[in-house]
Chains A and B, each alone.
Chain A
Amino acid sequence: MSANRVIRNDMIFLNERISSKENALYFLTTKAVQVKIITQQEEFLSKVLEREAMVSTAVGYQIAMPHGKSQAVQQPFIGFLRTLEPFVWSTQDNEAVNMVFLIGVPAENQGNIHLKVISQLSKKLLHDSFREQLSQLNQVDEIYSLLASLNKNLSAK
C-alpha cells in the first residue's frame, strides 16, 4: 500500500460551517463513506466516540485528532477539516478547536507505513510554522501538498 494514499485530497475540507464535535465527525465520516475508505459509518463512529470518551483528543493549538481502529476501515486514512470558526470540542476540557484530523486505521494490522505517516503528522503539529500553514493556506491542493510532504520525509529516512 502506498503511503501517499493515507493523505488524500478528497478528504480535505476547508472553511466549513460546522460547530460541534458530533457534526464534524458525522461530516468527515460521511465523506469517508462516499470515497469508499470506510463502510459501516455507525460502526466506525462508535469506535471514534469510544476513544473520545476515554480522553478528549483535543491536543491544544486548536487541533483535535479523533481516531478509531475498526473493521469498517478499508484503507488507513487521515481526513482534515478546518472550520470557519473555532468551537468547543469537548466539555471535558472546554478546548476550542478549528482544525480536526480524523484518523482511521483498519482493525487488522496492514503494516506500519500508515502509522508512520500518522506519527510524523502528530510530531509536525508541534511545529509553529507547520501549524501556521495549516491554518492559513486556502486551497485544498496546498494543504494536500503540505500534508503529503510528510511522506517524502519518511522515504528520505
Chain B
Amino acid sequence: MKIVAVTACPTGIAHTYMSQEAIERECKKRGYQVKVETQGSMGIENELTQSDIEEADVVILAVGIGIDGEERFDEKRDNGKVIEANPSLVIKDPSKFIDEAEKL
C-alpha cells in the first residue's frame, strides 16, 4: 500500500509537522510506503510529484486551511480515494485514519 498526504495548518508552525510525523510513523509501523508534503511556515517541502500521486492508493489531506495545488488530487477524489482529516485529530489518533485508508 502506498499513501501520500499533505499537511497544513493556519500558522504552519506546529500541527503541520506533527501531523506529518504522525502519518509517517503509523504508515511505517504497518509497512506501507508513505510520502507527506508539508505546506507550512517553511513553504512547501517534500512536494508530491505527479507520479507520487498517481501511484498512491490513498491520499490523506490533513489540512486546516486551503492548500496550494489541491487540483492535483481531483482524479483521486473522483475515484473516492481522498480522505479529508482534521490535523489535530490525525496527531491524536493517526491509526484511525490509516484504518480508514485501508478500507477504501
Chain A residues proximal to chain B, CB less than 8 Å: 51, 54-57, 59-60, 65, 67, 69, 103, 105, 112, 115-116, 118-119, 122-123, 125-126
Contact = CB atoms under 8 A, between A and B. Distances in A.
Contact of B14 (A54, A65, A69, A112): A65
Given A59-B88, A105-B41, A115 B13 contact: yes
Nearest to A103: B13
Nearest to B89: A60
Most buried by A among B18, B21, B22, B25: B18
A48 B92 CA distance: 22
A55 B13 contact: no
Interface of B: 9-11, 13-18, 20-22, 25, 40-42, 64, 88, 91-92
Q: Is the interface of A mostly helix, strand, loop or mixed?
A: mixed
A51 B11 contact: yes
Given A55-B64, A59-B92, A122 B41 contact: no
Q: Is the interface of B mostly helix, strand, loop or mixed?
A: helix
A103 to B, nearest CB: 6
A54 B9 CA distance: 10
A55 B91 CA distance: 14
Contacts of B91: 59-60, 126
A105 B92 contact: no
B11 A60 contact: no
Contacts of B18: 59, 122-123, 125-126
Contacts of A103: 13-14
A54 B42 CA distance: 21
A126 B22 contact: yes
Contacts of A59: 14-15, 18, 88, 91-92
A6 to B, nearest CB: 13
Contact of A67 (B13, B22, B42, B64): B13
Given A51-B11, A112-B42, A116-B42, A123 B17 contact: yes
